[in-house]
């Protein structure tokens, strides 16, 4: 990527597909590792993925990725040819996973548009060595000594029945010139060869080595790309076939006497084969042998990938539309009038915008499965490193959340799972001693709950050590109140405070000094929350509560004095008018209200936000009971203005820099163009 490629669509697709392929690869490798054997399916999969990556990486001029993929492809081609199933595969899996990591890293660089400077030489050497070892063990076939292909590989471009006459086939010579300046002639030639395999297996071409030989580009440019082939297809069909390839400028196609096909070449084709016995035949396999790919093609036709920015733009516009709709239908000049047909039309409009909004939102919804599946790898790495045996169980991974939210929870999830395996689960010996099954279990579960999604990370490990947490919190001065007064839950939740980490020594996986406060920070950013429950010796459960979406919420508008505020409807439990006998005041002047036998504290919004209000008597205005995370409180406001869908906008960053108001979550535009402040329920409960 040294030539200043911009992020063009082709590059995007390359990145997208490669990442998908790598993820798929990891899944099958991990499955293989679990079974501790290499099934033909896995081999095919690795082979297919590496082949695809090699091709596209070469096309995008990511040479280091291409060469790594190439060597892995060689290795697996060999394994497949020889059908080596009962072999020591631990090392092999490691190699593949490391290579996958390398490619992922390089892909990140591609994304950022920086130069690909990773050097895969070490990995490639490892892969080569592995290949040599395999070949050394496998002397029976003798395939290597002779450099010839095993008989099984019929699909060579130098066919086994080379000398045999096949009378209904004719021999052609095709000379192809590509358009000037189309670049990467060798790759384009490669594409033709690839396609050619669909119609014939009898062919050879000059130059013979188009992929690895850098000079082949020049040869093709100057002398054209010459193919000799034998096929039963007619002249016209062939002509169409070649001209159907992109960038072909000129084609000379003629029938030649059969002997020309193999006879007059200066360089016998066998030589090429000896150089790289496994590379080209693998291609034939690729196009002929793997049905999965065909299926995939059919599947992908129904899906298009769209730039997220476009979706964001669409979302913004949708928000504007919702506001504009309210501006029209709730226009003060109209509401005074009685307009039957207008109202009918307005209802229709409302219905359609509503549906459209749902659709736009659903487009942005992404299943959690991708984030969840990544954890398999993490669990494997951590448990292997620490000598633990851990199973990861995923449930509800199909649950969908907004794309923005996914980005924010990947890191927290990683931390939590890493902690669960690293700190939670005991070693097999400890587990057996405690009378637990040898293998630990980490459950990652997602489920919907109203407008929230709960993500639960549960392990059956040793549980949290309450005393250790307390001790650490005291050491670090994190305790807000005397230790004796803290409930168990409060103590457990201390672990999410910044600067808390019970693991003394930081290791590669757990406790890199960042700690779990990353979890809280990320969740705060999206309006989520986290809580933890634990039973010593039985396990720990961490629950992340995240909103389904950030952008448009159902909300209740309230008025306090002249100010308007907005509350998410989902956090309002009920609204009612207070009766004088239910009101209580404690000696400190704290006001409380009794509702159905429960006492709740009252927060006067006009006092909190220093607004002039005519309603100061609690029995005159309206009470709103709000709830979040099991905590309840009553808010006192002047009146309810009504329910509406609002588009959440952030408060201007300038205001946040002056004073980050805890009670406010953002602001929104009301139908009449005025601004309403959205109250932060969590913040109000903490006041």
Partner 1 sequence: MTQAELANLREMGDEDTLKGKYLIFTMDQELYGMEIRYITEIIGIQPITEVPEMPAYVKGVTNLRGKIIPVMDARLRFKKPEREYDDRTCIIVLDTNDISVGLIVDSVVEVLTIEEEDIAPPPEIRKGGHRYIKGIGKAGDTVKLLLDCAKLLTDDEVDALNDLP
Judged by the rule CB under 8 A, the positions of this chain that interact with partner 1 are 320, 323, 563-564, 608-611, 649, 651-655, 657-659, 661, 663-664, 667, 669, 673-677
Assess contact for 95 and 69: CB atoms under 8 A.
no
State in angstroms the smallest separation of the CB of 639 from partner 1: 18
State in angstroms the smallest separation of the CB of 686 from partner 1: 14
CA–CA distance, 393 with 420 (Å, rounded to integer)? 13
Assess contact for 445 and 541: CB atoms under 8 A.
no
Q: Which is nearer to partner 1, 278 or 684 (CB)?
A: 684
Q: Which is nearer to partner 1, 455 or 678 (CB)?
A: 678
State in angstroms the smallest separation of the CB of 677 from partner 1: 7
State in angstroms the smallest separation of the CB of 571 from partner 1: 19
CA angle in degrees (0–180, nearest 5) for 673-674-675: 120
Q: Which is nearer to partner 1, 455 or 635 (CB)?
A: 635
CA–CA distance, 528 with 545 (Å, rounded to integer)? 5
Nearest Cα neighbor of 393 from 457, 461, 464 is 457
Q: Which is nearer to partner 1, 468 or 655 (CB)?
A: 655
State in angstroms the smallest separation of the CB of 608 from partner 1: 7
Q: Which is nearer to partner 1, 634 or 667 (CB)?
A: 667
State in angstroms the smallest separation of the CB of 81 from partner 1: 59
Q: Distance from first CA to last CA of the chain, Å, rounded? A: 54
Assess contact for 505 and 525: CB atoms under 8 A.
no
Assess contact for 567 and 626: CB atoms under 8 A.
yes
Q: Which is nearer to partner 1, 536 or 652 (CB)?
A: 652
3-class secondary structure per residue, 249-272: EEEEEEECCHHHHHCCCCCCHHHH
Assess contact for 195 and 245: CB atoms under 8 A.
yes
Q: Which is nearer to partner 1, 564 or 573 (CB)?
A: 564
Q: Name the one residue in this structure whose structure tokens are 């093609």.
A: 297
CA–CA distance, 35 with 54 (Å, rounded to integer)? 28
Q: Which is nearer to partner 1, 118 or 561 (CB)?
A: 561
State in angstroms the smallest separation of the CB of 525 from partner 1: 19
Nearest Cα neighbor of 670 from 638, 640, 647 is 647
Assess contact for 460 and 438: CB atoms under 8 A.
no
Nearest Cα neighbor of 518 from 594, 597, 412 is 412
CA–CA distance, 58 with 68 (Å, rounded to integer)? 11
State in angstroms the smallest separation of the CB of 327 from partner 1: 11
CA–CA distance, 197 with 533 (Å, rounded to integer)? 60
State in angstroms the smallest separation of the CB of 592 from partner 1: 23
- Provide DSSP, 336-392: TS--HHHHHHHHHHHHHHHHHHHHHHHHHEEETHHHHHHHHHHHHHHHHHTT--EEE
State in angstroms the smallest separation of the CB of 685 from partner 1: 17
Size of the chain, expressed as the number of residues it contains: 687
Read off the DSSP letter of residue 516: T
CA–CA distance, 323 with 345 (Å, rounded to integer)? 17
Q: Which is nearer to partner 1, 427 or 608 (CB)?
A: 608
Q: Which is nearer to partner 1, 60 or 678 (CB)?
A: 678
Q: Which is nearer to partner 1, 315 or 578 (CB)?
A: 315
Tokens for 188, please give them: 């384009």
Q: Which is nearer to partner 1, 161 or 657 (CB)?
A: 657
CA–CA distance, 641 with 656 (Å, rounded to integer)? 27
State in angstroms the smallest separation of the CB of 351 from partner 1: 24
391, 392, 396, 400: CA torsion to nearest 10: -170
Q: Which is nearer to partner 1, 514 or 651 (CB)?
A: 651
Assess contact for 28 and 46: CB atoms under 8 A.
yes
Assess contact for 632 and 532: CB atoms under 8 A.
no
Other beta carbons within 10 angstroms of residue 289's beta carbon come to 15
Q: Which is nearer to partner 1, 215 or 320 (CB)?
A: 320
């Amino acid at each position: 990527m040294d030539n200043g490629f911009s992020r063009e669509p082709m590059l995007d697709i390359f990145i997208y597909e490669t990442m998908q392929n790598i993820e798929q690869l990891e899944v099958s490798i991990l499955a293989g590792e679990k079974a501790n054997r290499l099934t033909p399916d896995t081999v095919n999969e690795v082979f297919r993925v590496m082949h695809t990556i090699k091709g596209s990486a070469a096309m995008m001029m990511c040479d280091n990725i291409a060469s790594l993929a190439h060597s892995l492809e060689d290795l697996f081609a060999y394994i497949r040819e020889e059908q080596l199933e009962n072999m020591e595969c631990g090392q092999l899996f490691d190699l593949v996973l490391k290579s996958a990591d390398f490619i992922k890293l390089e892909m990140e660089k591609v994304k950022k548009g920086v130069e690909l400077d990773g050097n895969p030489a070490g990995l490639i050497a490892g892969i080569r060595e592995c290949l040599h070892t395999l070949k050394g063990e496998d002397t029976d076939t003798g395939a290597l000594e002779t450099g010839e292909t095993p008989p099984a590989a019929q699909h060579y471009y130098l066919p086994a029945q080379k000398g045999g006459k096949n009378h209904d086939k004719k021999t052609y010579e095709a000379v192809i010139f590509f358009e000037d300046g189309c670049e990467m002639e060798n790759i384009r030639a490669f594409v033709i060869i690839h396609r050619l395999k669909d119609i014939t297996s009898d062919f050879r071409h000059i130059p013979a080595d188009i992929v690895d030989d850098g000079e082949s580009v020049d040869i093709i440019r100057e002398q054209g790309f010459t193919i000799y082939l034998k096929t039963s297809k007619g002249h016209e069909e062939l002509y169409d076939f070649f001209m159907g390839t992109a960038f072909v400028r000129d084609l000379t196609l003629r029938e030649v006497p059969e002997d020309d096909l193999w006879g007059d070449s200066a360089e016998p084709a066998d030589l090429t084969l000896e150089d790289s016995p496994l590379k080209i035949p693998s291609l034939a396999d690729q196009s002929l042998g793997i049905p999965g790919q065909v299926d995939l093609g059919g599947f992908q036709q129904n899906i298009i990938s769209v730039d997220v920015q476009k979706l964001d733009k669409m979302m913004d516009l949708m928000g504007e539309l919702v506001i504009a709709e309210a501006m029209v239908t709730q226009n003060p000049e109209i509401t005074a009038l009685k307009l039957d047909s207008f109202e009918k039309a307005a209802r229709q409009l409302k219905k359609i915008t509503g549906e459209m909004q749902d659709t736009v939102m659903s487009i942005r919804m992404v299943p959690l499965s991708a984030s969840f599946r990544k954890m398999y790898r993490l669990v494997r790495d951590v448990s292997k490193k620490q000598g633990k045996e851990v199973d990861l169980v995923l449930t509800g991974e199909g649950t969908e959340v907004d794309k923005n939210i996914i980005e924010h929870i990947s890191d927290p999830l990683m931390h939590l799972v890493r902690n669960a395996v690293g700190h939670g689960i005991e070693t097999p010996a400890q587990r057996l001693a405690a009378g637990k099954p040898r293998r630990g279990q980490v459950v990652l579960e997602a489920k919907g709950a109203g407008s929230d999604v709960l993500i639960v990370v549960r392990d059956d490990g040793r549980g949290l050590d309450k005393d250790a947490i307390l001790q650490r919190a005291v050491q670090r001065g994190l305790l807000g109140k005397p230790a004796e007064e803290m409930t168990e839950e409060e103590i457990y939740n201390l672990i999410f405070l910044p600067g808390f980490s019970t693991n003394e020594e930081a290791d590669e996986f757990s406790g890199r000094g960042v700690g779990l406060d990353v979890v809280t920070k990320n969740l705060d950013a999206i309006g989520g929350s986290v809580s933890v429950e634990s039973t010593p010796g039985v396990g720990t459960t961490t629950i992340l509560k995240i909103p389904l979406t950030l952008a448009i919420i159902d909300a209740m508008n309230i008025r306090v004095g002249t100010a308007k505020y907005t509350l998410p409807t989902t956090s309002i439990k009920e609204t009612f008018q207070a009766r004088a006998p239910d009101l209580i005041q404690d000696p400190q002047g704290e006001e409380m209200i009794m509702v159905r036998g429960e006492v709740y504290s009252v927060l006067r919004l006009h006092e909190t936000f220093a607004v002039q209000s005519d309603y100061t008597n609690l029995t005159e205005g309206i009470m709103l009971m709000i709830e979040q995370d099991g905590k309840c409180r009553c808010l006192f406001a002047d009146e309810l203005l009504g329910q509406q869908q609002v588009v959440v906008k952030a408060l201007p960053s300038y205001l946040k820099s002056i004073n980050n108001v805890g009670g406010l979550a953002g602001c929104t535009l009301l139908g009449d163009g005025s601004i309403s402040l959205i109250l932060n329920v969590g913040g109000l409960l903490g006041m």
